[in-house]
Amino acid sequence: MADGPLVSIVDDDESVRESLPDLLKAFGFSVQAFSSAEAFLASEWPAQTKCLVLDMAMPGMTGPELHRELIRRRAGIPVVFITAHASEAVRPGVIDKSAVACLIKPFKPADLIDAIHGALAAP
């Protein structure tokens, strides 16, 4: 694991869980990846996560449901949503609920890195 801040990825798409950690590690982040919201919550990593890259549409607990649960628990983890199943109209709704960004797949790697840097800089 890298020495940088921990970014956790929660996405049911295996290709995302395999590719994004390599990208984020190249930018100095530590990374943990999870196939479900439930797996993330059951792990030891939520307390150490500095930014969460979170898929919106997953079986079981969805990304927005996990986000609400983290808010309920007062976890204070900034969230960058990613989704392949939404239009631009979704962004304002999730951003209003304290998410930092909502990126539509496929997104540019630079957009994700910028969103994570913005999340980490947020008060």
Write the burial class of residue 57 (CB in 10 Å: 0-12 exposed, 13-18 middle, 19+ buried). Answer: middle
Q: What is the pLDDT of residue 92?
A: 47
User: Which residue has better confidence, 28 or 90?
Assistant: 28
Q: What is the pLDDT of residue 114?
A: 96
Terminal CA-CA length for the chain:
25
> Stretch 95-121: mean pLDDT, rounded?
86
Res. 97 pLDDT band, cuts 50 70 90 = low
* pTM score: 0.89
Q: What is the pLDDT of residue 30?
A: 97
Res. 31 pLDDT band, cuts 50 70 90 = very high
Interatomic CA distance for residues 79 and 64, integer angstroms: 10
For the chain, where are the alpha helices, taking DSSP H only?
14-26, 37-42, 63-72, 90-96, 109-121
DSSP tag of 16: H
29, 4 Cβ separation under 8 angstroms: yes
Residue 117 clears pLDDT 60, i.e. is over it: yes
**CATH numbers and ranges of domains, the chain:** 6-121 (3.40.50.2300)
Q: What is the pLDDT of residue 1?
A: 45
> Stretch 49-78: mean pLDDT, rounded?
92
